[in-house]
Amino acid sequence: MSKTNISKDNSVANMFVKKEISFGKRLQKKLFNRTNINGTIAILGFFLIWHLLVVLRMPFMKHIPTPVTVLETFINLVTKKVYWVSLWFSTKRVFYGFVAAQVLGIPLGLAMGWSRKFKYLSFPVFEVLRPIPPLAWVPVSILFWPTNELSIAFITFIGAFFTIVLNVLRGVSSIDKELYRSALSLGAKPQHIFRKIILPASIPSIATGMMVGIGITWNVVIAAEMIAGDKGIGRLTWEGYLAGDTPTIIVGMISIGFAGWLSSGIVKIISDRMMPWRKLF
Amino acid sequence: MRCEKSGRIEVSNLCKRFHKAGKDPLQVLQNCTLTIEPGKLNVLIGPSGCGKSTLANILAGYDSPDSGEITIDGSPLKGPGTDRLMVFQETALWPWMTVMENVIFGPTVRGEMSKKEAREEATRILELVGLQDFKDKYPAQLSGGMQRRAELARALINRPKVMIMDEPFRGLDDLTRELMQEYYLKIFEKTNCTTLFITTELEEAIFLADRILIMTFLPGRIKTIIDVDLPRPRNYHVLTSKKYLQIKAEALEYLIEEGRKCFGEDCNIANTMVDEFRRQADNRH
């Protein structure tokens, strides 16, 4: 009796040890896989080459500080409020513009895909407005909107809006006709077709539109801030230029890159959540 | 689960012509007359491009004929409906729904069953097609053969009068295809649901059919009907029986004749092109 107990205990203990090892190994595998190692090497290499080019006084790098100086400036900036305020303002503008573009763009795209009549009515106007670059909207936007914040958010909105509409429209029109037909045969009414077929079928293209859109909004917000903004990371960068403060420019650029990367990551997570049937194996 | 012995479809003098910009209109069906007998497995066979799918789409109500009449159990047919369900060439399961959600779609959107009732019924039918363990999987997680069976289940739950199967096993590998045929036959022999089964494969046709309707190459109409009186339930042993070979020989005569037409027309086009080429070459000299 007691013997069996002991062996049981042992096995339980073994299980624990085993689990711990496997967890540690898993973590190790997750952190030190080939992608991560290569990625780290590449980034370190990039900074090393940059540093060497400046230290070796290459003529085209005359105005560029070394990564070390940039890092110092970065550490200095991070402790200041202005940096975080700038980042916060840009993020806010991106968020409002992006969300507004989704909220208005997705229904519009769906409506254009759903009703041919509506598409014929709206598409010509849409196609004339679409090629106008977001930055060309800056003057009109400043005149039209009462506050600076609103006009920048509007320009950001313009950047993402046309992409999302076009993606959703293309998504709806490329749904296989068999998918409609089988629903029709089974007695589905238009509201079922819309809710259960068209909407889910267009989610992948909505996701694509969102991914492209978030990139564009970051592009646009920075440019808009440089032209028209006060505050914001774009403004910070531009002020660095005006003051002849190159390290700040580079810190600004890197921060924009990082913020853009982070937002894309969040959008990716959201879009994967929207289509569980895509992530299967 | 058995289908009612109804679903007699009478098609008379059906005509359908397709217009393509810049080309002569194509007469796909001309005076096509046939009867789909209730409770039987009617197989429609013919060379590819002879208008089988067009006929199927018209019967399902997705397309309308230029002229001709179709009645189902005596009443004229209009639009798509649950009395005639179609299983497509490529799978048309909705990829964002699990197998279960796909199957219960019909009864729930029509409001005929509560979700719970539909689930119970679906469980029974998924057992019939051997997918009970896959009910919570998404279509992309299933093999090709399983997808077709899931689609079959999605149709069967609605107890249609007629099943229209448009080359449902196309694109499956040989082994899966043969297994699917056997499996499908078992289901048919259990349900006896009136079926129009479209195929281009003669062996598949004979193995499954009660009657084979052979179609002519464009313009499409029924060339002849062969009754297949092989005993049911069938298994692959019939493929070696004498009767099977007799039927095959008979059907082949008709099919090859039509197949030649489909082939020959291409030859004519090639010949015209060669002539044209020669003429141009002569002119240059």
Residue A281: list chain B partners with CB under 8 A.
141
Domain ranges of chain A: 2-61, 67-278
Mean of the per-residue pLDDT values of chain A: 86
Nearest 10 degrees: Cα torsion A112, A116, A118, A123 = 60
Q: Is the pLDDT of residue A246 over 60?
A: yes
Q: Is the pLDDT of residue A8 over 70?
A: no
pLDDT at A97: 93
Q: Is the pLDDT of residue A118 over 70?
A: yes
- Give B279 or B46, the one with higher predicted confidence: B46
- CA distances to A66, A71, A151, A213, A255 from A157, rounded to whole Å, are 37, 33, 10, 9, 21
- Closest chain B residue to the Cα of A275, Cα to Cα: B96
Distance from CA of A177 to the nearest CA of B (A): 9
**pLDDT band (50, 70, 90) for residue B276:** low
- CA distances to A111, A278, B232, B256 from A166, rounded to whole Å, are 12, 22, 56, 50
Report the candidate in B154, B161, B187 with the shortest Cα–Cα distance to residue B9: B161
- Closest chain B residue to the Cα of A184, Cα to Cα: B80
Are B111 and B189 in contact by the 8 Å Cβ rule? The answer is no
Least confident of B51-55, B242-246, B272-276: B272-276
Q: Is the pLDDT of residue A94 over 90?
A: yes
Chain A residues near any Cβ of chain B (below 8 Å): 176, 178-179, 181-189, 192, 196-197, 200-201, 203, 275-277, 280-281
B16 beta partners: B29
Residue A272: list chain B partners with CB under 8 A.
none
Q: Is the pLDDT of residue B262 over 90?
A: no
Distance from CA of B36 to the nearest CA of A (A): 19
pLDDT at A109: 93
Q: Is the pLDDT of residue B280 over 80?
A: no
Q: Cβ contact (<8 Å) for B85 and A187?
A: no
pLDDT at A281: 45
Q: Which of A187, A275, A277 sits opposite B109 (nearest CB)?
A: A187
**pLDDT band (50, 70, 90) for residue B283:** low
Least confident of A19-28, A38-47, A231-240: A19-28
pLDDT at B270: 52
Q: How many CB atoms lie within 10 A of CB A179?
A: 18
Report the share of chain B in percent with pLDDT over 90.
Answer: 8
Angle at B281 between CA B277 and CA B285, to 5 degrees: 170
- Give A6 or B78, the one with higher predicted confidence: B78
Report the share of chain B in percent with pLDDT over 70.
Answer: 90
Q: Which of A176, A182, A200 sits opposite B96 (nearest CB)?
A: A200
Q: Which residues contact A224 (CB under 8 A, 6 or more apart)?
A: A93, A134, A135, A138, A152, A155, A156, A234
What's the domain range around B60? 9-83+160-254
Mean of the per-residue pLDDT values of chain B: 82
A:B CB pairs within 8 Å = 69
Tokens of A128: 């004339």
Distance from CA of A37 to the nearest CA of B (A): 33
Residue type, A68: V
Whether pTM > 0.90 for this model: the answer is no
Q: Cβ contact (<8 Å) for A185 and B85?
A: yes
Q: Is the pLDDT of residue A3 over 60?
A: no
Q: Is the pLDDT of residue B138 over 80?
A: yes
Specify if B155 maps to a domain.
no
Q: Cβ contact (<8 Å) for B82 and A281?
A: no
Q: What Rg value do the Cα atoms of chain A yield, rounded?
A: 26
Q: Which of A182, A187, A192 sits opposite B92 (nearest CB)?
A: A182
Q: Which of A189, A197, A280 sits opposite B94 (nearest CB)?
A: A197
Least confident of A50-54, B33-37, B41-45: B33-37
Tokens of B157: 């739950």
Q: Is the pLDDT of residue B128 over 60?
A: yes
Least confident of A54-58, A277-281, B269-273: B269-273
Write the class of the CATH domain A67-278. Answer: mainly alpha
- Give B280 or B259, the one with higher predicted confidence: B259
Q: Which of B106, B138, B141 sits opposite A186 (nearest CB)?
A: B106
Nearest 10 degrees: Cα torsion B148, B149, B153, B155 = 30
Q: Which residues contact B214 (CB under 8 A, 6 or more apart)?
A: B45, B46, B222, B223, B224, B225, B226, B251, B254, B255, B258
- Give A6 or A92, the one with higher predicted confidence: A92
**pLDDT band (50, 70, 90) for residue A2:** very low
Report the candidate in B160, B194, B199, B195 with the shortest Cα–Cα distance to residue B53: B199
- Give A159 or B263, the one with higher predicted confidence: A159
Q: Cβ contact (<8 Å) for A185 and B141?
A: no
Q: How many domains does chain B have?
A: 1
Distance from CA of B283 to the nearest CA of A (A): 48
Strand B67-72, strand B75-76: pairing: antiparallel
- Give B276 or A195, the one with higher predicted confidence: A195
Query: Residues in chain B, how many?
Result: 285
- Give B274 or A33, the one with higher predicted confidence: A33
Q: Cβ contact (<8 Å) for B80 and A185?
A: yes
Distance from CA of A189 to the nearest CA of B (A): 8
Q: Is the pLDDT of residue B5 over 70?
A: no
Cα separation, A9 vs A16, whole angstroms: 11
**pLDDT band (50, 70, 90) for residue B75:** confident
pLDDT at B15: 86
pLDDT at B100: 93
CATH number at residue B182: 3.40.50.300
pLDDT at A85: 92
Q: Which of B60, B90, B97 sits opposite A185 (nearest CB)?
A: B60
Residue B103: list chain A partners with CB under 8 A.
none
Q: Is the pLDDT of residue A54 over 50?
A: yes
**pLDDT band (50, 70, 90) for residue A46:** very high
**pLDDT band (50, 70, 90) for residue B269:** low
Mean pLDDT, residues A174-194 taken together? 87
**pLDDT band (50, 70, 90) for residue B3:** low
Cα separation, A180 vs B61, whole angstroms: 13
Cα separation, A228 vs B236, whole angstroms: 78
Q: Cβ contact (<8 Å) for A201 and B96?
A: yes
- Closest chain B residue to the Cα of A200, Cα to Cα: B96
Nearest 10 degrees: Cα torsion A227, A230, A235, A240 = 110
What is the SS3 assignment for B130?
Answer: coil
Q: Cβ contact (<8 Å) for A203 and B62?
A: no
Q: Is the pLDDT of residue B124 over 60?
A: yes
Residue A188: list chain B partners with CB under 8 A.
105, 109
Q: Is the pLDDT of residue B40 over 70?
A: yes
- Closest chain B residue to the Cα of A281, Cα to Cα: B141
Distance from CA of A101 to the nearest CA of B (A): 25
Specify if B46 maps to a domain.
yes
Q: Is the pLDDT of residue A62 over 90?
A: no
Q: Cβ contact (<8 Å) for B82 and A186?
A: yes
Mean pLDDT, residues B120-130 taken together? 88
pLDDT at B56: 86
Q: Is the pLDDT of residue A263 over 90?
A: yes
Residue A186: list chain B partners with CB under 8 A.
82, 85, 105-106, 109-110, 154, 158
Specify if B228 maps to a domain.
yes
Q: How many CB atoms lie within 10 A of CB A224?
A: 31
Specify if B149 maps to a domain.
no
pLDDT at A7: 44
- Give B218 or A46, the one with higher predicted confidence: A46
Rounded to two decimals, the ipTM of the complex is 0.72
Are A51 and A68 in contact by the 8 Å Cβ rule? The answer is yes
Strand B194-199, strand B41-45: pairing: parallel
